[in-house]
Amino acid sequence: MSTPTVKPKAMIQDNTRCIGCRACMVACKSWNDRPADHTDFFAGEGYQNPRDLDANNYTLITFNEVVTGAKPDWVFGRQLCMHCEHPACASACPTTAMFKTDLGPVVFDESRCIGCRACMQACPFIIPKYDYDSFAPKIHKCTFCADRLEVGLDPACATVCPTGAISFGDRDDMVVEAKRRIAAAPGTYIPEIYGLDEVGGTSVLHLSSVPFDQIGYITGLPKTPMPDLTHRWLRVTAPVFAVLYAVFGALNWIVRRRMRRQGHEGEHT
């Protein structure tokens, strides 16, 4: 699976084609063996059910009331792990329990997880969730169906979508396809691919008919990889250690020599 010829995969989530049937959510639960939840009504905005991703829901269709033109309209959006090209969660994980595979999925190996939840804190899209009520909790999030990808199958959600809102393929092809759709129907789409450059690019590319912040997406994210922010500090750890140790050692040596000269022989502080 990790041959150099492997091409990273990506998914297009074309919200203009979504009818809000939530077959993707059902397929996702089914493939990942997640139990049903008890859910409650809540006061908007967003009228989806459940309200947010959680340990039992790895993907979610959001129902958004958006005023387009004169009348309000339902516009659907979708939440799932974006499978970043440079995942912040994986860079934050102190044990490499979270990592990105060559095919694109960012996956989680529970056998290495200590449960620190740094990945949850790090994720710019607030995706990884936790089963706090479990005795041995795990991080839960979309796996991009990494197990299916390995045997040549498409992700479960992509296979069940009845309207073609979910497309799956090589990332290069998907970027071309997303741009083609926008160019072919500029009246249908806003000229933006969410995920093309967000945090350095992701493996899920969202298309929409309205600005993404109106359908529950987190906008205003940097266009550069998040791990760079910590990398520039962490990469100097070794030299900083050496310099500080040397400086402190030199100062301590001077202090001790001064002490000796002042006649504190025998007191080798």
Partner 1 sequence: MNWRIRLTWWDKSLLAIMAVAAVIAFVRFATGIGTIANINNAYPWGWWVGYGIMTMIAIGAVGFTITALVEILGAHRYHSFLRPAVLMGLLCYTSAITMLMVELGRPWMVWMVLVSWAPTSALFEVGWCAFLYLTVLALEFAQVPLEEAGWGRALRILRAIYIPIMLLGVTLSHLHQSSLGTLMALIPHKVNVLWWSDLLPLIFLFSAIMAGPAMAILEHLAAARWLGFAPRMDLLAGLARIEAWLVGLFLAFQMGDLFYRGAVDAMFSGTWLAVSFWIEIGFGLLLPLVLLLMPEVRESRRGLAIACSLVIAGVLLHRLNVAVIGLRVRHWETYVPSLGEIGITLGITAAALFAFGWLARILPIHEELPSPQASLRPATQPAGVLHGAQGVS
Can you give the binding site for partner 1, defined by CB under 8 A?
42, 51-54, 88, 90-97, 112-118, 120-122, 124, 126, 129-138, 218, 220-222, 226-227, 229-231, 233-234, 237, 240-241, 244-245, 248-249, 251-252, 254-255, 258-259, 264, 266-269
DSSP state, residue 75: E
Q: Which is nearer to partner 1, 36 or 43 (CB)?
A: 43
Q: Which is nearer to partner 1, 14 or 198 (CB)?
A: 198
Query: Minimum distance between the CB of residue 225 and partner 1, rounded to whole angstroms?
Result: 11
Query: Minimum distance between the CB of residue 13 and partner 1, rounded to whole angstroms?
Result: 19
Q: Which is nearer to partner 1, 183 or 246 (CB)?
A: 246
Q: Which is nearer to partner 1, 168 or 217 (CB)?
A: 217
Q: Which is nearer to partner 1, 124 or 169 (CB)?
A: 124
Measured in degrees and rounded to the nearest 5, phi and psi for residue 206 equal -100, 140
Query: Minimum distance between the CB of residue 172 and partner 1, rounded to whole angstroms?
Result: 26
Rounded to whole angstroms, how far apart are CA atoms 39 and 237?
Answer: 47
Contacts (Cβ under 8 Å, ≥6 apart) of 39: 49, 50, 51
Whether the Cβ atoms of residue 76 and residue 64 lie closer than 8 Å to each other: yes
Query: Minimum distance between the CB of residue 228 and partner 1, rounded to whole angstroms?
Result: 10
Query: Minimum distance between the CB of residue 211 and partner 1, rounded to whole angstroms?
Result: 17
Rounded to whole angstroms, how far apart are CA atoms 87 and 82?
Answer: 9
Query: Minimum distance between the CB of residue 48 and partner 1, rounded to whole angstroms?
Result: 12
Query: Minimum distance between the CB of residue 96 and partner 1, rounded to whole angstroms?
Result: 5
Rounded to whole angstroms, how far apart are CA atoms 145 and 148?
Answer: 5
| Residue 78 bridge partners (DSSP) | 61
Q: Which is nearer to partner 1, 89 or 174 (CB)?
A: 89
Rounded to whole angstroms, how far apart are CA atoms 89 and 99?
Answer: 8
Whether the Cβ atoms of residue 242 and residue 249 lie closer than 8 Å to each other: no
Rounded to whole angstroms, how far apart are CA atoms 205 and 198?
Answer: 10
Rounded to whole angstroms, how far apart are CA atoms 140 and 185?
Answer: 37
Whether the Cβ atoms of residue 37 and residue 57 lie closer than 8 Å to each other: yes
Q: Which is nearer to partner 1, 71 or 233 (CB)?
A: 233
